Amino acid sequence: MKSRIRLLCPRLVLALLLSAVAALPLPAQRAAVEAEHGMVASAHALASEAGAEILRKGGNAVDAAVATGFALTATFPSAGNLAGGGFMLIHLAEGNRQVVIDYRETAPAVATRDMFLNPDGSVMTDLGSTLLGWRASGVPGTVAGLAEAFQKYGSGKVTWAEVIEPARRLAEAHVVTEGVAASLREFTFRLGRFEESKRIFLNGGAGWKAGDTWRQPELAATLVRLQREGPREFYEGLTGRLIAEAMQANAGTITREDLKGYRIQVREVLRQSYRGHEVVVPPPPSSGGLTLLQMLAMIEPFDLKALGQDSAAKYHLFAEAARRAFIDRIEYIGDPAFVNVPVARLLDRAYLARRMADFNPRQATPSAVIKPGLGLPHESNDTTCYAVVDAQGNAVSNSYTLRNSYGSGVTIPGTGLLMNNVMDNMATKVGQPNMFGLVIGEVNIISPGRRAASSQTPVMVFKDGRLLLVTSSPGGPTIINTVLQVITNVVDFGMPVMQAVEAPRIHHQWLPDKIEYERYGLSADTLNALQAMGHTVAVRPTYQGDAETILVDPKTGRRLGASDPRQPDATSVGH
């Protein structure tokens, strides 16, 4: 009897211990960065530190976001930029209100719908295409957008020169990380096609290694001009003249008049409830915000927690919602200055319920049979995103891009500025897939002055009127699915924010008709179940996104910075 008791007791103790452990929330693989006052989360540690430096000087979240944006130009050149564009979503704690600054690039005045077609109607490739070279760029909006944010919503406690100063120092000299060195090696062919880009970003062809000191004197000089002369210097001063002259000398399309005429747009946010939370996003020409809200509304009637966080049933539901939302995106969402975007109808709950009426929980719906829902007549991969929350509760979610990694590959001599290739965001030929395989419709045909619809999706989530989550991601159309999964990981599954960011991701975008997943992200059982439902499932060649995220703990008010481990240099810095 005594020997039997000795056997049973350890087993009973072990069972009790395992039961107690199972009741505890699982920790993330690494902890979120925690701070009492403020937090900056971005793709590069030095850029996050630049934002935190401004917070320490008394600046607010907007001031810090502007400093971070400038600093990424020097430290994260694949997407950090002065010659691109994007969207900044701002939450102002005083008055509990939000605003969007749309500083998306615009098509030059000489742009035409057939400008990237050969005489036989085929789409141009290589130099001269929408992807590479001097004709691929739209009129940049980044400097105007950052300036608008600083001038209208900054604290007034730091100067324009001060928010640029960290970037100027970093352009003067900083140490190259392995992440940046690897990225530059990967894009050697693109950058090597242009002498100025080869000289600066490829070290004259010798390449940059981790630990090298990188000096960018031309970029530093451009930043000094902006400090001294203000933001319009970029458009009307020496910098603008250098851009226009280089464009003219190389059969480019951007003129001095295009630069002088560029203006940002301040827009009203879109907002929608999701399981007792309020989700706030930018409106068109951000297609990402509207498409995200459609997908959240489509999945809300389903009990995700009962389905399981990593189940085939959940991924099937997400893919089916995505294919219905993405066809609406292609058909209806464009620049509201050029097309009438039916926002209210696209977000109508009854309409979205009808969109999911043919959803079969056991069978995939072929994308070929999914049609636009309203029946109306036709009308980079590399972005970088960052989040800031300050001590007063102001917040910024910013998403800006050169479009592809390193944009068009072109660097403007004398400025250190890489140009964007945003023209690939517009339809060179209706129905022709762009670099992401995303089909572009008539609503985004190339027109002078047009802002292309963008998947950029800076997001804020509120609970009981209080800020809970700030997030976004790069990745073209994958952005929408990435932020959807971060939000549902937090709201539906109660994950700690770091684990919500780390969790594996999937993507579907109507066409091509397939679910993409991150390597090692789905079990064999889940893959087999999805295939049995009729899905084509393919592993992604790279990780999906870089969800720079901040959560404000509802109990303590502390800021939890969750920088995405998919980006090797991503870092959150607290204050």
What residues are labeled active site? 383
| Contacts with 41 (C-beta within 8 Å, 6 or more apart), sequence order | 33, 48, 386, 387, 388, 548, 549, 550, 561, 562, 563, 570, 571, 572
Of 391, 110, 51, give the one whose Cα is nearest residue 252: 110
Strands (E), 11-65: 33-35, 39-42
Burial class (CB in 10 A: 0-12, 13-18, 19+), 392: middle
The answer to whether 177 and 48 are in contact (CB under 8 A) is no
| DSSP string over 351-384 | HHHHHTTT-BTTBPPPGGG---SS-PPP--TTEE
Single-letter amino acid, residue 107: A
Tokens of residue 84, six digits: 């691109």
Give the CA radius of gyration of the chain: 24
Strand partners, 89: 100, 397
Question: How far, in Å, CA of 146 to CA of 230, rounded?
Answer: 12
| DSSP string over 111-179 | --TTTTB-TTSPBP-SBTSSSBSTTSPPBP-HHHHHHHHHHHHS-SSS-HHHHHHHHHHHHH-EEPPHH
The answer to whether 563 and 42 are in contact (CB under 8 A) is yes
Q: Backbone phi, then psi, for 382, in 5-degree steps?
A: -120, 105
Single-letter amino acid, residue 170: L
Of 228, 183, 525, give the one whose Cα is nearest residue 384: 183
| DSSP string over 531-574 | HHTT--EEE-SS------EEEE-TTT--EEEE--TTSTT-EEEE
Q: Kindly report the length of the chain.
A: 575
Question: How far, in Å, CA of 317 to CA of 319, rounded?
Answer: 5
Per the listing, tokens 């090692």 go with: 520
Strand partners, 560: 34, 551
Q: What are the residue ranges of helices labelled H in 230-311? A: 233-236, 238-249, 256-261, 287-299, 304-307
Of 317, 330, 303, give the one whose Cα is nearest residue 535: 317
| Contacts with 423 (C-beta within 8 Å, 6 or more apart), sequence order | 107, 111, 116, 130, 135, 136, 137, 138, 446, 452
Question: How far, in Å, CA of 186 to CA of 405, rounded?
Answer: 10
The answer to whether 573 and 33 are in contact (CB under 8 A) is yes
The answer to whether 467 and 371 are in contact (CB under 8 A) is no
Of 437, 457, 380, give the one whose Cα is nearest residue 77: 380
